Amino acid sequence: MMLNYFDQFASPIFLGVPLIALALTLPWLLFPTPSTRWLSNRLTSTQGMFISTFTQQLLLPVNKGGHKWALILISLMIFLVSLNMLGLMPYTFTPTTQLSMNLGLATPLWLATVIMGLHNQPTHALSHLLPEGTPTFLIPILIIIETISLIIRPLALGVRLTANLTAGHLLIQLIATAALVLLPLMPTVAFFTMILLFFLTLLEIAVAMIQAYVFVLLLSLYLQENI
């Protein structure tokens, strides 16, 4: 069976241990649990600063009822950013390339916002299905379109993260293979391919952070609509 470029995303099993289990459990060693001391070490202080700044920024447009979602949204952000960034290192497995995981994170959280909105303030939640100022004859079709766009949100959230990371990893692998193959044949072209690979890796680092941020931001947006 020939190995193809997509096989890097099949979760490998080594000595009976699926590596996705290691990829999911080990990154949290990089995040020390802070003690109750007032002054902690540099790593804890840096992470605390990141968490407090990010919480403030994320919850700025959300009203007081949404603040109880802070813990889960910030934890999700840390979860996704560390998994994405660690996956860019060679020979690591990125769990966020698995559609199962992204859908599994997106669907319950989106569903929670929808159920909360429909339970607590059903009129307000349903009013989002009709944008203000639509012409009367467009109302029925627009309601259908808005309902479809509401249902498709968790799918979009999951697939966006999966596709971005999968495509990034595939591109890196393709261009790295090209550079390697071209090295004995056309060294100058291989050199330019290496420069391209360098910039692509920088882009992938940015994409890793941005996609995690977009995931959490969109969830907070859905929360704003419904809380």
Partner 1 sequence: MPQLNTTPWLMILIFTWFVFLIFILPKVMTYIFPNEPTLKNKKTFMPWTWNWPWY
- Would you say 83 or 179 has its CB closer to partner 1? 83
Q: What share of the chain is helix, strand, coil (3-state, %, to 5)?
A: 80, 0, 20
Q: Least distance (Å) from partner 1 to the CB of residue 20?
A: 7
- Would you say 6 or 14 has its CB closer to partner 1? 6
How far apart CA 163 and CA 99 sit, in angstroms, is 9
Q: Give the DSSP letter of residue 33.
A: P
Q: Least distance (Å) from partner 1 to the CB of residue 213?
A: 16
For 181-212, b/e burial (b = at least 16 CB within 10 A) is ebeeeeeeebeebbeebeebbeebeebbeebb
How far apart CA 66 and CA 117 sit, in angstroms, is 11
- Would you say 6 or 137 has its CB closer to partner 1? 6
Q: Which residues bind partner 1 (CB under 8 A)?
A: 6-7, 9-11, 18, 20-21, 24-25, 28, 31, 33-34, 36, 38, 47-48, 51-52, 55, 67-68, 70-72, 74-76, 78-79, 95, 97-101, 104-105, 162, 166
Q: Which residues contact 79 (CB under 8 A, 6 or more apart)?
A: none
Q: Least distance (Å) from partner 1 to the CB of residue 8?
A: 9
- Written as six digits, the tokens of 227 are 């809380």
Q: Least distance (Å) from partner 1 to the CB of residue 219?
A: 14
- Would you say 95 or 117 has its CB closer to partner 1? 95
Q: Least distance (Å) from partner 1 to the CB of residue 53?
A: 11
- Would you say 52 or 134 has its CB closer to partner 1? 52
Distance of alpha carbon 55 from the chain centroid: 17
- Written as six digits, the tokens of 142 are 């627009």
